[in-house]
Amino acid sequence: MNISLIGKNALVGGSSRGIGKAIAEQLANSGARVTLMARTEEKLKDIIASLPTHNGQHHDYLVVDFNDLEAYKTTITRYFQNNTIDILVNNTQGPKAGGAMDVHIDDYQTAFDLLFKSVVFTTELALEHMIKNRWGRIINVASVSVKEPLSYLALSNSIRAALVTWAKTLASDVGPYQITVNSVLTGYFDTERIAQLNAKKAEQLGIPENEVLAEMEARVPVRRIGDPKEYGFLATFLASDQAAYITGTQIPIDGGLLKSL
C-alpha cells in the first residue's frame, strides 16, 4: 500500500523528540508539509533541515510551551490566522509522575490545561478549514493508561481519559464532514519520557535503571519496548485516505501490553 499525503498540511505537537518527532518525520516522508511544535527552537530547526522536500514541501515550526496555556493560545491563534491544516496531531509532554496520594488538587488543573484544554483549543481552530474542505484528520496521542491506569501516573490516567471520551464525542459530530478523529493508546516506547519515568521508579525502588527496563520489557508480550518509528507508521496511516472509514476509535500500540479487551 502506497500512502501519499502530497498536498496535505500537518501540524504536529511535541515534535522535537520521541513519538512526536517520529510522527512528523513519517508524515513528511509521505509527502505532507509539516509544521512542528515544541519548546526548543534549536531542535526544531535541526529537524526541519532533515525533513524531505522532494514533493515541493515547505516545512515550518512554532516555538510553544504547552505548560503556559495563555501564551500557547496566543501563538496558535496567530498561526491559524494565516495557515490552514488538514492533519492535526495533538501531542504534548506528559504531566508530572506520581500516585494519587502524591499529587495535589492544583496539579490536576495544571494537567487539565496541558493535556485537555490545549488540545480542544487547537482542534477548534483547525476544524474551521477541515469542515469547509470536507476532509480532515485529528489524531490524539493518548495512553494505554486510559484502559488500565498506571499507579504512578495519576494525573495522566485521569486527564487522558477525559481527552479520549471527548474525542469519541467529537468524532460523531464531525463525521458528516468526512473528518476522522482517533486516539492512539501509547504503550512503552523508547523515548526520553520513558527514560525519565524509569529513572524515578529506580530511585524509589532502590534498583538500577536497567532492571526497571528489563521488568518493563518482560511485561510486553513481544518482549521489547516500541521504536517511535512504528508509531509514526500508524499515525501516517490514520492520516491517509486509506483510513477514511476509521474514526472514533482508541487504538492501542503497545506490543500486546493491554490485557483488557
pLDDT tens track for 199-231? 888 888 888 888 888 888 999 999 999 999 999
Residues 135 and 109 in one domain: yes
CATH number at residue 183: 3.40.50.720
Residues 61 and 172 in one domain: yes
Instruction: Kindly state whether residue 260 falls inside one of the protein's structural domains.
Output: no
pLDDT of residue 195: 85
pLDDT of residue 196: 82
Residues 103 and 215 in one domain: no
Measured between alpha carbons, how far is 252 from 143 in angstroms, rounded to an integer? 8
Measured between alpha carbons, how far is 25 from 44 in angstroms, rounded to an integer? 12
Instruction: Kindly state whether residue 4 falls inside one of the protein's structural domains.
Output: no
Instruction: Kindly state whether residue 1 falls inside one of the protein's structural domains.
Output: no
Residues 199 and 115 in one domain: no
User: What's the whole-model pTM score?
Assistant: 0.94
Identify the bridge partners of residue 182 per DSSP, sorted by sequence position. Answer: 139
Measured between alpha carbons, how far is 74 from 120 in angstroms, rounded to an integer? 14
Expressed as residue numbers, the domain containing 209 is 188-225
Measured between alpha carbons, how far is 217 from 178 in angstroms, rounded to an integer? 39
Residues 154 and 43 in one domain: yes
What is the sign of the dihedral through the CA atoms of 226, 246, 145 and 87? positive
Residue 219 exposed, middle or buried by CB count within 10 Å (0-12, 13-18, 19+): middle
Give residue-wise pLDDT tens across range 185-195.
999 999 888 88
Residues 120 and 26 in one domain: yes
Residues 130 and 18 in one domain: yes
Residues 193 and 246 in one domain: no
Per-residue tens of pLDDT for the chain, all 261 residues: 899 999 999 999 999 999 999 999 999 999 999 999 999 999 999 999 999 998 889 999 999 999 999 999 999 999 999 999 999 999 998 888 888 888 999 999 999 999 999 999 999 999 999 999 999 999 999 999 999 998 888 899 899 999 999 999 999 999 999 999 999 999 999 988 888 878 888 888 888 888 888 888 999 999 999 999 999 999 999 999 999 999 999 999 999 999 988
Instruction: Kindly state whether residue 261 falls inside one of the protein's structural domains.
Output: no
Domain count along the chain: 2
Which residue is associated with the grid cell 493491554?
258
Residues 61 and 101 in one domain: yes
Measured between alpha carbons, how far is 80 from 147 in angstroms, rounded to an integer? 34
Instruction: Kindly state whether residue 258 falls inside one of the protein's structural domains.
Output: no
Q: Which of 61, 72, 152, 177 is catalytic?
A: 152
Residues 106 and 201 in one domain: no
User: Which residue stretches of 151-191 are H helix?
Assistant: 154-174
Q: Name residue 41's amino acid.
A: E
pLDDT of residue 204: 82
E-state strands within 39-178: 60-63, 87-90, 136-143
Measured between alpha carbons, how far is 145 from 160 in angstroms, rounded to an integer? 8
Residues 156 and 200 in one domain: no
Is 152 marked active-site? yes
pLDDT of residue 102: 87
Residues 104 and 155 in one domain: yes
Q: Name residue 260's amino acid.
A: S
Q: Which three cell numbers stand for residue 47?
A: 529537524
Strand order in the sheet with 9-12: 60-63, 33-38, 9-12, 87-90, 136-143, 179-186, 250-253
